[in-house]
A and B are shown apart, each in its own frame.
Chain A
């Protein structure tokens, strides 16, 4: 009886773990595979031909570079500012003595 319970328990545990892993991983893998799709429309999976055309487009089109630069600059500033102020506030909240 004890053994059967443990077997079921291990089965449920492994099942939930597998389900969680697949749920997170599968969409990412599908997106990666479709990024090599040679077709110029969203067709059924799996792709019939593969190519690097979308990567080439991203690397050669300057519009994308402009967007990438803006993203990096804005997030860089936000990261630096929030890390500094957040760290200072965390030190104050943890080490400071609250009176009253």
Chain B
């Protein structure tokens, strides 16, 4: 894989920025994660040799629920975002008049400009104990005094960002599915809902999966939402990493979890991409 000279020069600035900002720190993290740690010190012991103890620590079942909470709540958010996001994208592309479509799209993009911290406190004020919609949790069968309420707040906090993100990504997906196929299904006697569910939706599946991957990546890497909404009851792996670095100064341990998360996340996304390529081969997709 090689580019001609002109394009090499064009891509150089981006690589020069990514090297010290991304590759360098990951290597430093990897190095730190292999150092032994003595309690009471700041960071790992220099010259103490190489150890895998920081990694082995996380085989302990006590850590399973951090990973469990992260991946489970992330999945709930992603599925909810796809279920609610697909109708929005479909509405914008197929149903709305051009003017309405523009307004809805602009509104979705507008919410993305809201900082995460603003959304978090807005949601706390709405669904929190003093909020006007605090009773909503009963709809999900959740007692407001339960831990599940905290989980719901974390899910809502993440969903508020992920939903517009997924909906905007899905606009392109729905646009790529030819409206003629839906019309053809209806001309052959299928009711409209059947045309959407068994023609448009399956054809949009690869796009749904990539939108889901974007949303899921946002969820499992999030620090602020579980930190503020989780109140210590819901702790994501990112929070665990944060505690290790900032509160107990155990840099090697924090670095080891970071590397573990990086490997799990890359493995997950690589696996999903492979699955997508196998179920929907690129050639077949192009001919559709």
Contacts and interface: CB of A to CB of B under 8 A. Distances in A.
Interface stretch (A49-57, A61-69, A88-96): A88-96
A8 B193 contact: yes
B160 A13 contact: no
Interface in A77-100: 81, 84-86, 88-89, 91-93, 95-100
Interface residues of B, number: 47
Interface string A1-44: 01001101110110011011001101110110010000000111
A30 B2 contact: no
A5 to B, nearest CB: 5
Contacts of B159: 23
Given A13-B87, A16-B83, A88-B13, A27 B126 contact: yes
B10 A27 contact: no
Contacts of B167: 20
Nearest to B90: A13
A27 B193 CA distance: 31
Contacts of B83: 16
A20 B163 contact: yes
A33 B85 CA distance: 27
Interface residues of A, number: 40
Contact of A31 (B17, B108, B118, B193): B118
A98 B111 contact: no
Nearest to A5: B191
Interface centre among A43, A96, A99 (most CB of B within 10 A): A96
A30 B130 CA distance: 12
Q: Which 9 A-B pairs have the closest CB atoms?
A: A9-B193, A96-B7, A89-B14, A31-B122, A27-B122, A92-B10, A92-B11, A20-B84, A92-B7
Given A6-B192, A13-B87, A92-B3, 19 more contacts: A5-B191, A5-B193, A9-B192, A9-B197, A10-B193, A12-B193, A16-B87, A20-B84, A24-B163, A27-B122, A28-B122, A34-B125, A45-B131, A88-B10, A88-B11, A88-B13, A89-B13, A96-B3, A99-B2
